[in-house]
Amino acid sequence: MRLSLASLDRIDPAEAWAPWEPSAGDPWDRKWAGHLYRRAGFGASWPELQEAVANGPTTTIGRLLTGHGGQDEFDQLMDELGPDSNSPVFAPTPFGSEAQLQTWWFHRMLYTRHPLRERMVLFWHNHFATSLLKVRQPALMKQQNILIRRHALGKFSPFLLEMSRDPAMLVWLDGNSNSKDKPNENYAREVLELFTLGVGHYSETDIREAARAFTGWHTNGQGFTFNRFEHDDDPKTVLGQTGRWDGDDVVRIVLEQPAAARFLVRKLYRELISEGTPPPDALLEPLASQFRDSGYDIAALVGTMLHSRLFFSDHAYRQRIKSPVEYVLGLLRSMEAKTTPPTDYSPTQQQPLDGLGQALFAPPNVKGWAGGEAWLNSATLLARHNLAWKIAQGTRGPLGITTQPGALIRKHVARDSGPNAEAVVDFLLALLLQPATGEIDSQARRKLVDFLAQGKPKSMPPEHRVRETIHAILLMPEYQLS
């Protein structure tokens, strides 16, 4: 079944979230495999695409949800690397000490055996948007990142409970100023407004009362400490429930509200399905019920979304603008780029994400990055263009990235078609964009072929032309979309 883009209001929600079945008219093919990998990972290499097409959607989605073998060892190693308590404290002048931390995560995202979970770590980093610019201790930010990874596909309630005790979060939202005599509302407000319910589902009184429940939840700069002398143990009334509540009770009460699942599902819809037309409430309701009834099981929710008919429809297809991280990792993975991961993660000056508008560990404020159209303006788009050229060249420059498109073509382009310009362009489009039939304008394809062939359509184009052609494809408007 395919749905057309004009009719979001008229879709039967039950039908939208039912599992998609490939059909003769709409088969499981490279287009849908590429779509799935762009959303549930950071894009796919050619071998991954081939494997996914062969395995079918159910198996492929299943593997994306569970990850591949070797991930635990990888996580253990990475948890030990990166910044520690001896790392320099963040200073807001010239070369930020955030570089070490950012490189550490960037390499985790690039080399992970479980890309979907890493993507969810990025999603939750943006949800619980905490910035090194205020926290200042790289080791605390790293600790929070590890906490997020543990819960990224787990259950939301223990996740929020741990996040409420996370030292970076406590610094970020002024936990230590939250005391019995002078409650600080910062954390309580964001729990209700940004982390669970959304504006309109609580009152200012609820915030004040919830803040009292979190009094005495402090940090000693390394971990959580409960300061009983600063905790207000008198009764509070939060969202209609009265008792001698502490922070854990607030989390429980908040997650009993129907608004919580609705708010989180809507946010995840924008992440996994579409940044286009906002969906009507009715469309999200089945997912919100499922999420609540499952005890806020994140993996189950993500699974339902990824298997759904709506996911494999025009409503979702290229209906997101790639974030800078998705753009960069996607092209590195497609090109099977070789990078030299540093083991010391010492601060370096230039990073792949510089100038693109998504400094990891430094979201602009507690609301996180706005996403969607806010990712692109002339300056950030140009930064993408110029980064794409650096990578397409295979420079071993400051980024330490090597690409070998000639070798990719020799390996993957069928020998019988011969390495002529037409075959190479079709391969590059399939590798980088996985377009639907007719999605790329025929004149655009023709221009790419003419550029690559330079009047010699029958012979293997020179390597530099191949790299320039790849660069041009990476700049296409279609390539900015996921």
Partner 1 sequence: MLTRRRFLERTLQGSSLVALGPTVPGFLASTAAAAEPGKDNVLVVVEMTGGNDGLNTVVPYADDLYYAARPTIGIAKDQVVRVDDHIGLNPGMRSFDKLLSDGRLAIVQGVGYPNPDRSHFESMDVWQSADPKRQAGSGWLGRSLNSVRVSAGQIPGVHVGTQTLPLALRGSATGVPTIHPSKPYDLDLALQRNNNYAVMATPAGGRSKGAGTNKEHDARRALIEDLAKLAPAPANDNLRQFVRRTSLQTYAAIEDLRNITRNDSPNNQVRFRGNANGELASELNLVASMIAAGFGTRVFYLSIGGFDTHANQLQEHQQRLQQLADAITNFFSQLDRSGHSKRVVLMTFSEFGRRVRENGSKGTDHGAGSCLFVAGPGVKGGVVGAHPSLATDQLDAGDLRHHTDFRRVYASLLGTWLGCDSAAVLGESFEPLPLLKES
Interface positions, 83-112, toward partner 1 (CB under 8 A): 90, 92-95
If one asks whether residue 457 binds partner 1 (CB under 8 A), the answer comes out as no
Specify whether the CB–CB gap between 323 and 371 falls below 8 A.
yes
Question: Minimum Å distance from CB 333 to partner 1?
Answer: 19
For partner 1, the binding residue among 45, 87, 112, 131 (CB under 8 A) is 131
Instruction: Give helix 378-392 / helix 463-474 axis angle, nearest 10°.
Output: 150
Say which residues have a Cβ less than 8 Å from residue 9's Cβ, sequence separation at least 6.
280
Tokens (6 digits) for 116: 């979907």
Residue of 2, 244, 411, 464 interacting with partner 1 (CB under 8 A): 464
Q: By C-beta, is 129 or 260 nearer to partner 1?
A: 129
Instruction: Give the C-alpha separation, 231 to 212, whole Å.
Output: 8
Number of residues that bind partner 1 (CB under 8 A): 73
Using the minimum distance from each CB to partner 1, give the nearer residue, 57 or 347: 347
User: Exactly one of 448, 453, 460, 470 binds partner 1 (CB under 8 A); which one?
Assistant: 448
Q: For the chain, state the CA radius of gyration.
A: 24
Q: Give the residue, chosen from 203, 205, 350, 377, that forms a contact with partner 1 under the rule CB under 8 A.
A: 377
Judge contact between 94 and 135, C-beta under 8 A. no
Q: Which of 114, 149, 201, 318 binds partner 1 (CB under 8 A)?
A: 318
What part of residues 405-444 is at the interface with partner 1 (CB under 8 A)? 406, 439, 441, 443-444
Taking residue 223's Cβ as centre, other Cβ atoms within 10 Å add up to 12
Residue pair 413/419 in contact by the 8 Å Cβ criterion = yes
Tokens 């010492």, located at residue: 346
CA–CA–CA angle 438, 441, 446 (5° rounding): 115
Least distance to partner 1, CB of residue 307, Å: 24
Convert residues 393-412 into a mask of x (bound to partner 1 by CB under 8 A) and - (unbound). Answer: xxxxx----x-x-x------
CB of 269 to partner 1, least distance (A): 15
Shortest reach from residue 454's CB to partner 1, in Å: 9
Query: What part of residues 260-299 is at the interface with partner 1 (CB under 8 A)?
Result: 275-277
Q: Closest distance between partner 1 and the C-beta of residue 4, in Å?
A: 9
Kindly state whether residue 475 participates in binding partner 1, applying the rule CB under 8 A.
yes
Candidates 71-79, 145-153, 362-370, 423-431: pick the segment binding partner 1 (CB under 8 A).
362-370
Contacts of 86-95 spanning 24+ positions with Cβ under 8 A: 87/137, 87/138, 87/139, 88/138, 88/347, 89/136, 89/137, 89/138, 90/132, 90/133, 90/135, 90/136, 90/137, 90/138, 92/133, 95/347, 95/349
Q: Which of 39, 189, 236, 467 binds partner 1 (CB under 8 A)?
A: 467
Give the nearest distance from C-beta 108 to partner 1 in angstroms: 23
Question: Which is nearer to partner 1, 295 or 398 (by Cβ)?
Answer: 398
Q: What is the largest CA-CA distance in the chain?
A: 83
Q: Is the Cα dihedral 401, 406, 410, 415 positive or negative?
A: positive
Nearer to partner 1, 53 or 135 (CB): 135
What residues between 25 and 64 interact with partner 1 by CB under 8 A?
A: none
